[in-house]
Structure 1
Amino acid sequence: MQMPRIALKEWAAAVKALEQGKQMLLMRKGGIAEETRDFQLQSRYFSLFPTYEHQKQHLIKEADRHILDATLEEWPKDESRWPITIVAEAVEDLLIHDANELQKLQDEHIWTESFAEERLRWKKTQPLHVLVLRAHRLREPIFLPMLEQYGGCKSWIELAGELPESVETEPVLDDAEFNKRLDRIRRAVGKI
């Protein structure tokens, strides 16, 4: 599989949940530092760049807090070895406009109901993007130095430096499980 240079920044706990097959979606409105001030899907195929700073235990469902704990233990203290473990394809970009639609996806992610609704309410005039991802785990993680250009509240970054042209990956979910869960998500928000 080709290694994408474009990367979506996301909480390390959400990346870990994707890697474990616990969830297959992410919710986006855009970072404070976005040029366009809203989220735009810049590429359907991208790497996931884990972030650690803004994760809070009370924003994650109690049953899933162990995922956050694991990411905090793994937090790279040596910023010359920042891990990339997942590449993903955005299969759907669902636009969610109200809390009722969002509530129907509550079992599909690790965030608390109140945090998910907070994401929906932020920038009220814009919909919440729910990205349904087909995640692929790298057989060997890639470690990158943490560069200043990766910082800030923005969704997308361009990975700098030497990257392999291709990487060996395996899908987190097999085709049957992925399609079953994709259908369930589509039905939940009336997209079938």
Structure 2
Amino acid sequence: MIQQANPVAFKEWAVTVDSLLKGELIFVLRKGGISEETKHFALSSHQFYLMPAYEHQKEHLLKPAYQGRIPDTMKGWSPDQSEMKLEGYAEAVEDILIHDMDKLKAVSNLHIWTDQFAEERLKWKKTEPLHLIVLRVYRLMEPVTTAMQDAYRGCRSWVNIEESLPELQYEPVLTDEQFSIKYKELKLALT
């Protein structure tokens, strides 16, 4: 159990959060949200809630095996919702900087996004590297609901949760062994 004094959340597509919570994915690719306060992405915290983002999810940006999941993530969501439900928590294990297409292509079979979309993320803000953030993901034993704030909306990577939350009780999505296997596979692909 962990009690966070100033809880932080990392915003990511709801379909991506779902894949992280299913153990299908152990990393995210990030350059920063459109509304970032700075001009580049930075790992603001190494421990954070996973906050699903519903804007900008597009079926055609997912590999065929992952298409068709977005409607399920949208159930119960509306732009004027009064609460945000958090079901996951993560620890950043490593922030790997991707500078070229060869490295990005090497991990293609380890993520849910189309190669074209991953390439577009790499090419956006050409002078900035793409961050491949390896995550150790945990499912909350009881989802946490927090009142929706204007600060939670929009395209940004990080949000400060503006209310205190209960003590975290969670379990890892993958066992230590399962995570180790996937992490080694990723590292091998990048060598």
TM-score bracket for the superposition, by shorter chain length: over 0.9
Query: Structure 1, residues 74-94: CA drift from partner, whole Å, max 9, x if none?
Result: 435772231101110010101
Q: 2:112 aligns with which of 91, 95, 110?
A: 110
Give 1:108 shift: 1.4
Q: Structure 1 CA distance, aligned partners of 2:138 and 2:80?
A: 25
Amino acid at match of 2:172: P
SS of the residue aligned with 1:66? coil
Which residue does the alignment assign to 1:88? Answer: 90
Question: Per-residue CA shift, 1:116-142, capped at 9, x if unaligned?
Answer: 110000001110000010000001111
* In 2: Cα distance, 1:108 partner to 1:170 partner: 23
Asked whether 1:181 is paired with 2:182, we answer yes
Quote the residue 1:43 is aligned against: 45
Aligned to 2:24: 22
**Alpha-carbon contact 1:31-1:37 (below 8 Å) kept:** no
Aligned residues: 189
8 Å CA contact retained: 1:88, 1:135: yes
Residues 1-192 of structure 1: pairs in structure 2 closer than 5 A: 1-4=1-4, 5-75=7-77, 79-164=81-166, 166-190=167-191
- Unaligned runs of 5+ residues in structure 1 are none
TM-score, with length taken from structure 2: 0.94
**CA–CA separation in structure 1 for the residues paired with 2:148 and 2:190:** 38
Q: CA RMSD in A?
A: 1.4
Q: Which runs of 5+ in 2 are unaligned?
A: none
**TM-score of the pair, normalised by structure 1:** 0.93
Change (3 A) 1:74 1:186: farther
The 8 Å contact of residues 19 and 86 in structure 1, kept in 2 or not, is answered as yes
Do the aligned partners of residues 109 and 74 (structure 1) sit closer, same or farther apart at CA in structure 2, a change above 3 Å counting?
A: farther
Runs of 4+ in 1 over 4 A off after TM superposition: none
Deviations 1:28-85 (A, max 9, x none): 0012222221000011111111110110111111111133232022435772231101
